[in-house]
Structure 1
Amino acid sequence: MRILHVIPSISPLRGGPSRAVIDMVAALRLQDVDAAILTTNDHGPGLHPDLVTGRWQWHQGVPVLAFPRWSPPVAALREFAFSPALSLWLARHLKQYDLLHIHALFSYPSTSAMVQARWAGVPYILRSIGQLSPWSLAQSRGRKRLLLRLIERRNLNQAAALHFTTTAERDEAAALGLAPPSLVLPLGVRGPDPLAAPAAVRKPSTPVRFLFLSRLHPKKQLEKLLEALALLQRQRPEASWELAIAGDGDPRYVTALQVQTRELGIDTRCRWLGFVEGDEKWRALGAADWYVLPSAAENFGIAAVEALAMGTPVILSPEVAVAADVARAGAGLVCASDPEALAMTLSTALVRPSLSMRTSAFNLAESDFSWSTIALQLRDAYRQVLPPSAGR
């Protein structure tokens, strides 16, 4: 069974979806699925430093073929990631694969791959990475409505299945009345090397550490977390806490956030770690008492699950799709993202999480978000949508 995963970018700067597709393909290959990745050399504003273009290479343990990305100078199309060379290669080699697994909408590599698969009669599954949620569709609304009307709705309706990572994501997309069957299957976490990234020993005398680890983007609502912490400081001036902020984003936006911390009077309690990955990321997750994400919309929340895998409880807004799992398992706290409600929850969190909650966090990651289990289920899903003559 040959499966080609198509995604606009595997840059770590693009967040969870890029990380997830690499881990997904690695897990599938351990289940005897011949899976590979087709992508571009996108790396945020620049080009991916570790990807060559135009030839296959092994990248983080999986086969990857990347082609150059061209970003038009028009702001509305800058993220569309044009890659004519990718489309040309796909036209020549598409029928060598039994099925395409497409990741993302409203981007040239994904959109063009679905069009070509339809024309060639090759089945495909689409993982929309949350782009069918009302919040996402409201961003750049005019462009997305036009693309849906002209091409993406046809792409969606002719998919063999739509891959959602949570029931909440599936339910949000239901309003669009799409035809294909739904596959609800979460993402997994490939944890750290325990020797390379040991969990920190938390001393009772040190400040309670809150960690925000994510792309620095308005959707993540870091501004509200900063406002909540300023409110907490006014209400509990004697409390000992700090906020570690790990991530990167548009420089103007990051500067505005830093200015906000100074204006709120909490800048001395905030530590800006910048973009972290690999062992450094796992150490940051392990050193935190609480991972906090008050996002406005999150179809999954992979960084939150990575925190759970380190035994670090999480504080999430209900809009983070895994929040329901966290609440069910007692692996953290769920609260509204408005500053008043968030400040109240953060005040409760000044008492460090119990050993029982930490254990629940770790157990939830192990039981529900294991890549080995998820890869087996995904392999079975591929077999169900493949025609009888396809390789199995």
Structure 2
Amino acid sequence: MVHAVRTTDPAAGGFVTYLQSLRRGMTDDDIELCWEGVFPRNANWRVLALLRPLRFLRRVRRQLETADLLHVHGVFGWHVLLSLLAARSLGRPHVVSVHGHLHPDALRERRLSKRICLAWFGRRALRRAEAVLVTAPPEREIVRRYAPQAHIVEVMPGLEVPPVPESGAVTRAGEAPGPIHVLYLGRLHPHKGLHRLIRALGEARAEGLDAELIVAGTGSRSYRLALWLLVRGLGLRQQVRFLGHVGAGVRARLWRRADVFALPSRSENFGFAAAEAMAAGVPVIVSENVGLASLVAGRGCGEVVPPENTEALRRALLAYADPSVRREQGRRAHEAAVEAFSLQTMGAAHGALYRRVAGTARGMASVRDRAPDRV
């Protein structure tokens, strides 16, 4: 199975985490996964780097010559267009994981180029796919708007969930009081709402909440500067720390230290970072448009707030002033993660899909080989 992605850089966010989880969850020795990315880093200049797409096309075609099918991640970009061209030329079937690309909020960014991509090859990629993978019911409905006849498969991503919660929200119960550690982990982009979280932190502190915010992730230089100026203007330079992109070891330490995790995005098809927080036993604050919002609300393991609402974020932060609330919601978050985020279930669902698609393709090829030539 060849997986085509824009980049394999972990800083790119959720789809790389998705692939890492899939590789760990795929226990079927008969299925071999390989990745091909166009760009080595999640760089903004990638569209202009024309040599890399050409090299990607040669690599992915070489991989597909001995593969059974192509799995495309996303709807836009060089990797979608070129990998589909290679698969079509070799007669290989493909499946698509949408990863939130079709959400109305995501389509507002680089609107013209995305419309061109949809008209040129995006809709065709969805319509011709043997399956379109989504992570939540709202994304299923969005896909229906662009490909009404698509065969849509809903698969909950998996994670490695520790046997017991490890977060500060649970383990620091009974310790001497100190500042509440609020964690944001992800890409720095206006879409994620981090600027509103910073404003909400300032307002909550003005009401007496002793809290600090740790920001792990990177993004465009202009937005990083805007965030830094906002922190400085609000007088929060001692309460907000920017760590940049962090590796797996630092990430694990951050989960153990965190009391609350916040993801106030305008939209997320799933919300991998929020799922990781739950696995560690960290209560979460998410917007209503995050794919995990219904799970968070149903299991009582966090606060669900309207998107783009600083006041709601302020109230959510104040709700965690009580350590017993953090402890109880952290425990519930871990229990929900144990039940919902199974690597084995994720791997088995993908394995079954790959076998079905590959088997159908082989059967059709066999029929074509046996068919008599027409006179």
Aligned to 1:346: 317
1:88 positional shift: 1.8
Correspondences of 1:306-321 after superposition (within 5 Å): 306-321=276-291
Matches within 5 A, 1:322-341: 322-337=292-307, 338-341=309-312
The answer to whether residue 198 in structure 2 is matched with residue 226 in structure 1 is yes
Compare the two structures and name the one with the higher helix fraction: 2
> Which among 22, 25, 28 is matched to residue 23 of structure 2?
25
TM-score (norm 1): 0.84
Following superposition, the deviation at residue 347 of structure 1 comes to 1.3
Distance 1:79 1:340 in 2: 42
Residue 105 (structure 1) aligns with: 75
d(CA) in 2 for partners of 1:193, 1:351: 25
Where does 1:42-53 land on structure 2 (aligned, <5 Å)?
A: 42-45=40-43
Q: Indicate if the aligned counterparts of 1:31 and 1:376 stay in contact, CA closer than 8 A.
A: no
Runs of 4+ more than 6 Å apart: none
Q: Classify the secondary structure of the residue corresponding to 1:106.
A: coil
- 1:192/1:247 Cα in 2 relative to 1: closer, same or farther (>3 Å)? farther
Name 2:369's counterpart in structure 1: none
The percentage of aligned residue pairs carrying the same residue is 29
**When the two structures are superposed, what TM-score results if normalisation uses the length of structure 2?**
0.88
Distance in 1 between residues matched to 2:104 and 2:51, nearest whole Å: 23
Match of 1:144 in 2: 114
How has the CA–CA distance of structure 1 residues 86 and 192 changed in structure 2, closer, same or farther, with 3 Å as cutoff?
A: farther
Retained in 1: the 8 A contact 2:127–2:147?
no
Query: Which residue does the alignment assign to 1:51?
Result: none
Q: CA deviation at 1:172?
A: 2.4
What residue identity is the alignment partner of 1:95? E
Select the residue among 124, 135, 140 that pairs with 1:154: 124
Change in CA separation of 1:232 and 1:364 when aligned onto 2, cut-off 3 Å = same
Per chain length, whose mean CA-contact separation is higher, i.e. which structure has more relative contact order (CA < 8 Å, sep 6+)?
Answer: 2
- Counterpart residue number, 2:32: 34
Distance in structure 2 (CA, Å) of the matches to 1:187 and 1:208: 29
Equivalent residue runs for 1:119-130 within 5 Å: 119-130=89-100
Distance in structure 2 (CA, Å) of the matches to 1:356 and 1:188:
23
Contact 1:132–1:172 under 8 Å retained in 2: yes
Structure 2 unaligned spans of 5+: 364-375
Please point out which of 335, 354, 357 is paired with 1:385: 357
Report if aligned partners of 1:7, 1:38 keep a CA contact under 8 Å in 2: yes
Change (3 A) 1:31 1:207: farther
Q: CA deviation at 1:388?
A: 4.2
Q: Which residue of 2 aligns with 1:283?
A: 253
What CA distance in whole angstroms lies between the structure 1 residues aligned with 2:264 and 2:361? 47
C-alpha distance 177-90 of structure 1, shift in aligned 2 (>3 A): closer
Q: Which amino acid aligns with 2:262?
A: V
The Cα of 1:100 is off from its aligned counterpart by 1.2
Q: CA deviation at 1:198?
A: 6.0
Letter in 2 for 1:282: A
| CA gap 1:181/1:146 in 2 versus in 1, 3 angstroms | same
Q: Is the 8 A contact 2:2 2:63 kept in 1?
A: no
Q: How far apart in 2 are the matches of 1:18 and 1:366?
A: 22
Q: Distance in 1 between matches of 2:18 and 2:71?
A: 13
Distance 1:158 1:83 in 2: 23
Q: Distance in 2 between matches of 1:39 and 1:265?
A: 42
Deviation at 1:307, TM superposition (A): 0.6
RMSD: 2.4
Query: C-alpha distance in 1, partners of 2:49/2:190?
Result: 16
| Ranges in structure 1 where 5+ consecutive residues have no aligned partner | 47-70
Could you give the per-residue CA deviations for residues 269-318 of structure 1, whole angstroms, max 9, x where no partner exists?
11222221212101112211110010011111101101111111101001
| Structure 1 range deviating more: 203-212 or 77-86 | 77-86
One-letter amino acid of the counterpart of residue 229, structure 2 = V
Distance 1:270 1:311, change over 3 A: same
Distance in 2 (CA, whole Å) between partners of 1:143 and 1:124 is 23
